[in-house]
Amino acid sequence: MADARAVRTTRVESPAVTELTRRRFLALAGASAAVVRFPFSTRAEQAPVTVQDVMSRVQQALGGTPAPNSADGLKAGRADLRVTGIATAAMATVDVIRRASAAGCNLIVTFEPTFFARADQPSPANRATDQTFTGKRDLIEKSNVVIWRLHDQWMAQQPASLTTAFAEALQWQRYQTAANTPERVVVPSMTLRDLVAHVQKQLGAKGLRVIGRPDLPVTRVVLSPGPSAPAVTFTNLATADVILAGEPREWEGVEYVQDAIAAGQAKGMVLVGRVLSENPGMRAMATWLTALLPGMRVQSLPVADPYWRPAAS
């Protein structure tokens, strides 16, 4: 999916509507199960469940096979491998691969690429000798795990779980105010410093970057997890105090906010990091898969914040 993704349009209004969202996910899973029979059972007499079985079931539930230009698909391992457990992760890092294998999960469903490029196919010139590429490939083979990227189809489904799950991780779902703008929340008044402390605690963040005055009064927040499209910032900053972003490009959204502040506007931006902001969405995916694949062990493996910040002098 291109970084300049569109703003999602499904929104949670209240805890009751949040519960309705969960029921819609469960209904989708139930409807799929009624149409196609797969042997998802813990009983020994049932036939083994393969990676292909899982992919077929998930793709049908999400509306068919991915588009021809999609980056989704198997990135490592065999489709005929019997699945012992499924791990969802924002990225199949070396740490995630090790933890999945130790937990008995031999299918990793990843949101982001595994081999450092959109289609997991960077220039082949150095792949045969680069120790990072070869070491990760060898670890995957030794661990006997399969890596399946599920990004484009997951992002295309509604309700938009990435934003909804991000709000839930921050305990802000009750502050989402309109059904057609899921990215907007109105929180109790606090300073930007206090908002940053809350985000840091709830997400386990170590490397947040912040634009704006620490004492800036904040109530109106726009959520933009994952790759933060400039359109989110351009469209929403006028009626927001802070953009809580995953990974905006500096020369787009970041400098737009910075120039707005320099021009006298009381604005701010918090950069969480792309993968860290996607962890809640992968927990939502694990919950959805658990309902879709009864009898299959599914768990979410969060990716740790890769950054650290030096202490202020």
The total of other beta-carbon atoms located within 10 Å of residue 31's CB is 10
At residue 57, the pLDDT reads 96
pLDDT score at 82: 97
Strands laid side by side in the 73-76 sheet: 73-76, 146-149, 107-110, 86-89, 298-300
pLDDT in the model for residue 115: 92
Average pLDDT over residues 124-134: 80
Phi-psi category of residue 205: left, alpha or beta, with phi > 0 → left and psi -120 to 50 → alpha: beta
Radius of gyration, alpha carbons of the chain:
20
Contacts of 278 (CB under 8 A, 6+ apart): 90, 111, 112, 162, 225, 226, 246
Q: What is the pLDDT of residue 182?
A: 77
Q: What is the dihedral of CA 246, 250, 252, 255, to 10 degrees?
A: 110
**pLDDT tens-place string over residues 32-79:** 433 333 444 444 335 579 999 999 999 999 987 788 889 999 999 999
Give the model confidence (pLDDT) of 81-120 as tens digits: 999 999 999 999 999 999 999 999 999 999 999 998 888 8
| Cα→Cα distances 207→111, 167, 282, Å | 21, 20, 20
- When comparing pLDDT for 254 and 38, which is higher? 254
Q: How confident is the model at residue 7 (pLDDT cuts 50, 70, 90)?
A: very low
- Give the distance from CA 103 to its chain's centroid: 21
Question: Which residues make beta-bridge pairs with 79?
Answer: none
With residue 209 as reference, give the H or E element that holds it: strand 209-211
Residue 16 has a pLDDT of 39
Split at pLDDT 50, 70, 90, the class of 127 is confident
% of the chain surpassing 70 pLDDT: 81
Q: How far is CA 22 from the centre of its chain?
A: 17
Q: Residue 8's pLDDT is what? A: 36
Domains of the chain and any CATH numbers: 15-158+278-300 (3.40.1390.30), 161-276 (3.40.1390.30)
CA separation for the pair 192, 237 (Å, rounded): 15
Tell me which of 47-56, 209-218, 274-283 is least confident.
47-56
pLDDT for position 158: 64
Diameter of the chain measured on Cα atoms: 70
The CA distance from 18 to 174, in Å, is: 8
Tell me the sheet residues that pair with 298.
86
| Residues 49 and 42: beta-carbon distance below 8 Å | no
pLDDT above 90 covers what percent of the chain? 68
β-pairing, 268-271 with 209-211? antiparallel
Positive or negative CA dihedral for 136, 137, 143, 145? positive
Query: Does the pLDDT at position 122 exceed 90?
Result: no
Check pLDDT > 80 for residue 9: no
Amino acid (one-letter) located at 174:
R
The residue ranking higher by pLDDT, 125 or 98, is 98
In this prediction, residues 237-243 reach a mean pLDDT of: 96
User: Between 161 and 220, whose confidence is greater?
Assistant: 220
- Which residue in 284, 310, 13 sits closest to 169, CA to CA? 284
Alpha-carbon distance of 61 to 54, in angstroms, equals 11
Do residues 287 and 25 lie in contact, with contact meaning Cβ atoms separated by under 8 Å?
Answer: yes
Token representation of residue 98: 């090790």
pLDDT (0 to 100) of residue 35: 34
Is pLDDT above 90 for 218? Answer: yes
